Homo-oligomer: A and B are copies of this chain.
Amino acid sequence: MNPFTANPQESVAAWGEEKVIAAIRRWLGPASPRAPFGIGDDCAVLAPSRGRQLITVDPVIFGQHFDDTIAPKSVAEKLLKRNLSDLAAMGGRPVAAVLALALDPRTKQLWLEKFYRGLATCARRHRVAIVGGDIAQATGGLVASLTLLGETTGPRVVTRTGPRVVTRTGARTGDRIFVTGVLGGSLRSGHHFRFTPRLAEGRWLARQRDVRAMMDVSDGLAKDLRALTPRGCVPALVAAALPLRAGCDVRAAVTDGEDYELVFALARSADSETFQRRWRRAFPRTRLSCIGHFVAERNPPADALKLSEYHGYEHLR
């Protein structure tokens, strides 16, 4: 649906701010608690956090992340789910979100309604409270930025300050590299709108001591893996082990991006077979692939995939 209308009567400008905000509250329904715990005061009030807190922000922008061929419901779902995927990558549990909307006054009331109703459904499914936001005017555009607040979960592996957070740092030479799901062709296949963020998988992985580092794959494995690679190492990937989406080749799998899968390092000392057996018991429907391991950069195996020949998605180019 095109977010904008030439008919002033169908636009948000015909309503004005107060009526738009009242409508947003109605569309969000039970996904948004009452003020001051939700929309309607200077800030939203949240209960004290139970563990350490996690915070992330990601936008969707008209002309960049979606266009007028996309259903507004899918735009909203993608917005929330790409933030949930970041939270999954650290083993977190979602708590609350706020949404800043900058939009042209010609934005359709109907587009906005379907966007917020889609957001509400997706938020309730993942138990995220939409606690606040802002709506402002931006001529000619539509930018929606969602900030997601989450918590660490546990209780199995506990640090001094609460349950463990798995970061991008911590992998070592010899650690095996695993990835969930399949890679490549996300845009072509519609996966970037339809994916389910790997929240349950992320929480499970965060409880395994042998999982030393983790991140989500959003800009393509070739680019993203660099952040997971320990200093002085390179990832030695086995091309044949890459889980390809139907119709994708190796290049698509490592460069397309928007996979929203988890990639992580399993300690060299861990029993990989046992680990994979336990995974299959926990997530019988989520594929897990060991795609290689980290090796010293002066010593790469001759048959490893040459990742430097591939480039992931570069923003601002």
Interface residues of A (CB under 8 A from B): 12-13, 15-18, 20, 35-36, 40-59, 61, 63-65, 86-87, 89-90, 92, 96, 98-100, 102, 105, 131-141, 143, 145, 147, 149-150, 152, 161-162, 165, 167-169, 215-216, 314-317
In the assembly, what is the distance between CA of A53 and CA of B18, in Å? 26
- Closest chain B residue to A219, Cβ basis: B17
The answer to whether A134 and B57 have CB atoms under 8 Å apart is yes
The answer to whether A59 and B13 have CB atoms under 8 Å apart is no
A143 to chain B, nearest CB (A): 5
Total copies of this chain within the assembly: 2
The answer to whether A136 and B44 have CB atoms under 8 Å apart is no
- Closest chain B residue to A167, Cβ basis: B36
The answer to whether A17 and B57 have CB atoms under 8 Å apart is no
Find A44's partner among B54, B64, B65, B105 (CB 8 Å cutoff): B54
Find A133's partner among B42, B57, B63, B316 (CB 8 Å cutoff): B57
Known contacts A45-B90, A48-B162, then 12 further A-B pairs from the complex at CB < 8 Å, ordered by chain A residue: A36-B167, A41-B90, A41-B215, A44-B55, A45-B53, A56-B98, A59-B145, A61-B137, A102-B145, A134-B145, A140-B141, A149-B149
Q: A20-B316, A315-B135, A316-B105 are in contact. Are A48 and B53 (CB under 8 A)?
A: yes
- Report chain B residues within 8 Å CB of A46: 52-55
Find A64's partner among B18, B137, B149, B162 (CB 8 Å cutoff): B137
In the assembly, what is the distance between CA of A186 and CA of B246, in Å? 59
- Closest chain B residue to A146, Cβ basis: B100
- Closest chain B residue to A317, Cβ basis: B16
